Chain A
Amino acid sequence: MKPKPVSFEQLAGISACLALALVAHLKALPVWVLVTVAVSGGIRLLLAHRGRAAPPSAVRLVTAVLAVALLFVQFRTFNGLTAGTALLALMAGLKLLETDAQRDIYVLTLIIYFVSLSALLEGDSFWLLAYLIGVCWLTTATLLRLTSTLPAPDWRRSLRYAGRILSQALPLALVFWLFFPRFAGPLWHIPDDGSTAESGLSDTMSPGDITELALSDEIAFRVRFATAPPPPQERYWRGPVMHHFDGHTWKRAKSTSMIASALQPQGPAYRYTLSLEPHQHNWIFALDWPSHWDLPRGALTGDYTLVQPDPVSRPIDVAATSYTRVQSSEPLNARLRQWDTRLPPDRNPRTTQLAHTLRGEHPDEMDYVRAVLNLFTQQEFYYTLTPPKLADDSVDKFLFDTKRGFCEHYASAFAILMRAAGIPARVVTGYQGGTLNRYADYWIVRQSDAHAWNEVWIEGRGWLRVDPTSAIAPGRVEHGMNDAVSADEPLGSRWHRRTPWLADVRLRLDALRQIWRERILLFDQDSQQKVLEWLNIPEPDGQKLVMVLTAALTLVLVWLTWAVRREIAPARKEPLIRAYSRLCAKLAALGMPRLAHEGAEDYAARVAQSRPDLGPAVTALCRHYSILRYAAAPARISVGQFDAAVRAFRPVPNHVK
């Protein structure tokens, strides 16, 4: 079979589909790949428009080798989502360049399907799914027009037919999706191509870091409490804990060998489920002091941050239990004590001096802590999102000169004042507070809730949480950022925060998003088990799942067969012809079937001849039929009346008479 050449229209159609599929990858793909695809598609379309064939194979080969080499130089691998997608996109672009026969376009449609899928692998939005199904619909309609040997149906009908097939496929796809067994982990390791940016808190803290986060409305995580939620002043979500200070920046401890020592919980336990958004770090923002969690490879660090070995690169749900107040009877680990009392030498001398003076006045550790907090409230310290920039010896400058800062400034200054007085202290970063979504009863914690506070070691009592920010701006802790900053701060210009109904709409949308996330994105083995339980299947397991899958597939396939075949049942006759056929059948039952060539009136004449008693009735009915059917004369009765008359006509068999 010789290959069928492609037309300009076909090329344009498939190029448009490819472009639409690549739109979903705009952010991830390197610009030069997109440009290459666009240019090669453009060249090919231009050539086709002038009725010319594809460029010679040497040109194509050189382009292909160059492009793939360049790709490899950039990514060092073809494994991984971004690199793989880039390779696919390049292949599609180059395939477009060499497309001469329809066979090439078939290959292109397959690439488009796969490119669409790859956008979904790490995507999570409903709209993305809807968009890509739309792209696949369009591609399939294009394919329909391509593969028709005889003149293809027009665009509208092609789209309708492809849409019909898609809609008939939906029930089958749903059954597959619900019951196809899910695996707990990946089949093989997915290389991390590092294309996804880290977000939220990092493992260092410099002045200004959290201020930046405070401006972001992005959601960090959502929490649904199984118990009553803790009061606002105890809603601290622990992230990375900072120990090492170089005078400007706080750093997290790299060593993970330290084991968290046992704690004696005080106060109520809080049980909750954390729906974490991916942030590309390995910590999980549990409520203050976590004691239990259902994370298979989760563990606590020596400073009680819940961590897992791999970064959180996909949305995950973690059920956990925490306490907000604890005590420790064990002495402080020597290494921790050493870390948490160390200060960079020769930095911030005025602060050190102040610490020594104050400590002299307050020999009791708790008294000293209170004295430092009093310092913040009594002097003119301000809580602001726009603090002045600080150079070397930033803490000295902040404490004695500018006195304006955000939570990280206060936490940093407080820790140094403690350490300088010999009290072990560290900076805890994380989130504080959250907004209740009253429509769905869960809490939303945004990046703007990012916070930094301190923990100090009190002998005989253990680690104690101290939040110096609450001393300066108690509203920050009680009601969140909006109440803590004045209206002329950057946050004050957020008009949507000041419009109640808009905030309301946002909450409702977020509730929907949470449903989408819980029901669809995080659908897994457990959810399948719940579906089976809902179906009243006792002791659900993998084998039963496969059995349910098979049964459901059988049902749907039977339905599908019926639905598809139903349409090819012989067309129903129109009511008039049905009524006439009924009349003929009644007469045939008397032994006078209508002959194939006989018209209605000839038939009536013949009937009248052999059964004079039926003559007038049959003649009248047949006359009506002729008039209704051929409109030879103005009709005096309607089709419905004719049908009724035929039904009323009950000829008596001859022998009864």
Chain B
Amino acid sequence: MNTLRRAASNKLRAWAVRRNGRDSLPTKILRRRIYLMPTRFGFMLGLILIAMLIAGLNYNSNLGLAFAFLMASVAFVTMHHCNRILLGLQVDATTEVDAFAGGEASFEFVLSNESNVDRRDVEIRCMTAAGMRSVPARSSESVSVAVPVPRRGVVRIDQFELRTRYPFGWFFAWTYLQGSLTAYVAPAPRGNRTLPALGGSGFQSPSEIRGDEDFAGLRAYEPGVPLKHMAWKVLARGGEAAVRSYTSLAAQPEWLEWSSLEGQDAESRLSQLCLWVLESEAAQRVFGLRIPGTEIPPARGAAHRFACLRALATYAVAGPA
């Protein structure tokens, strides 16, 4: 039964792709792509309605028939209301997210409801994961859907699904959206090698190797900088947010090398490199990454870290188109 259902669902998905083509986000959900089915509870209601109708006819009871027809009509109206939850809803999503293997890729969706009715219980499904939200009238809500990503690599999601069972749970309406979402799954940070430090002295706390005398000037603020490095005085004078930059011994570029991890398999090397990237970033070091085919020049900051993690994620897998 379940396999039959899955097969039918796959057929429908494929058909929806052929019918609607790719979607560019943000997209508005149109009428022709919303599907609707009774739930199991809805089928039970259907049986009861048929029984009510037969009873009314058999007893020739006009009041019984009136009641049966009213309930059947309520079911009809509910169908429209269920369909309406999704109709005209605008969907946007963050198309690229980063994650670590064994963790979850958290896609952020934004649902905008321009209408005057609440859209309750809207569920977004990506593969096996789902998130649910109600979007009140004339507002937007964001939903995050955490898709589990067990392995390193690039996870591409071509299709996600919006569905609802509101109201009454008799019907569920759903739609497929062909937006492409990509998760760059970096290797799980793992390894037992210490961070290669300058002079091979191992890991040192940044406070030990940095002093105020190394102040080298200001640079533009970027997210992720420790608060104590903020140039508060500059900000207080009304200037741009800036960060004091230091030249210390630790700021000497340091290379995280694929080749320094001889004797391990590729995934272990990537995991170790990933751990190093995170440690270097945490230690505010300037570092570069060298893996076969890719060389990321030394730098630091959040953007740099993402570049490195993405390089580790895409190593030896078919890159994004």
What is A's interface to B at a CB cutoff of 8 Å? Answer: 81, 103, 106-107, 110, 113-114, 116-118, 120-124, 128-129, 132-133, 136, 140, 143-144, 146-150, 153, 161, 165-166, 168-170, 172-173, 176-177, 180, 182-183, 185-188, 190, 314, 520-524, 557, 560-561, 564-565, 567-571
Contacts and interface: CB of A to CB of B under 8 A. Distances in A.
Given A113-B52, A564-B80, 6 more contacts: A117-B56, A150-B120, A186-B58, A186-B60, A565-B80, A568-B115
B70 interface: yes
B36 interface: no
Contact of A120 (B54, B64, B121): B64
Most buried by A among B51, B73, B121: B73
B286 interface: no
B1 to A, nearest CB: 15
B77 interface: yes
Nearest to B86: A568
B63 A123 contact: yes
Contact of B59 (A150, A186, A568): A186
Most buried by B among A143, A148, A170: A148
Contacts of B57: 182-183, 187
B61 interface: yes
Contacts of A123: 63
A217 B66 CA distance: 30
Contacts, number: 164
B74 A106 contact: no
A570 B123 CA distance: 22
B109 interface: no
B285 interface: no
Contacts of B138: 571
Interface string B144-171: 0000000000000000000001111100
Contacts of A185: 60
B243 to A, nearest CB: 28
Nearest to B165: A147
A147 B167 contact: yes
6 nearest A-B pairs in the assembled complex, by CB-CB distance: A169-B73, A147-B169, A172-B73, A176-B69, A568-B115, A570-B114
B84 interface: yes
A561 B62 CA distance: 27
A567 B117 contact: yes
22 contacts: A106-B44, A116-B67, A117-B64, A117-B71, A120-B61, A123-B63, A133-B67, A147-B166, A165-B74, A165-B78, A176-B69, A186-B60, A187-B58, A314-B60, A520-B62, A523-B62, A557-B76, A560-B76, A567-B115, A568-B88, A568-B115, A568-B116
A148 B121 contact: yes
B45 interface: yes
B72 interface: yes
Contacts of A564: 77, 80-81, 84
Given A169-B74, A172-B77, A188-B58, A180 B44 contact: no
Contacts of B45: 110
Contacts of A557: 76
Contact of A180 (B64, B69, B87, B134): B69
A164 to B, nearest CB: 9
Contacts of A521: 62-63
Nearest to B65: A177
Contacts of B61: 120-122
Contact of A140 (B51, B74, B87, B165): B74
Contacts of A182: 57, 60
A328 B218 CA distance: 130
A118 B58 CA distance: 12
B44 A190 contact: no
Interface string B99-123: 0000000000000001111001101
Given A106-B41, A110-B48, A188-B58, A117 B68 contact: yes
A121 B64 CA distance: 5
A136 B76 contact: no
Contact of A149 (B41, B71, B121): B121
Nearest to A187: B58
A521 B62 CA distance: 6
Contact of B63 (A120, A143, A153): A120
A148 B67 contact: no
Nearest to A167: B77
B55 interface: yes
B133 interface: yes
A166 B55 contact: no
Contacts of B77: 165, 168-169, 172, 560, 564
B29 to A, nearest CB: 11
A114 B48 CA distance: 7
A183 B58 CA distance: 8
Interface string B118-143: 00110100000000111001100000
A496 B167 CA distance: 51
B70 A173 contact: yes
B69 to A, nearest CB: 4
Contacts of A173: 66, 69-70, 72-73
B66 to A, nearest CB: 5
Nearest to A186: B58
Given A166-B70, A166-B74, A161 B167 contact: yes
Nearest to B89: A568
Contacts of A177: 62, 65-66, 69
Given A172-B76, A521-B62, A560-B77, A568 B84 contact: yes
A122 B56 CA distance: 10
Interface in B158-202: 165-169
Contacts of A568: 84, 87-88, 115-117
A113 B84 contact: no
Contact of B67 (A132, A186, A524, A569): A132
A207 to B, nearest CB: 39
A421 to B, nearest CB: 50
B121 A150 contact: yes
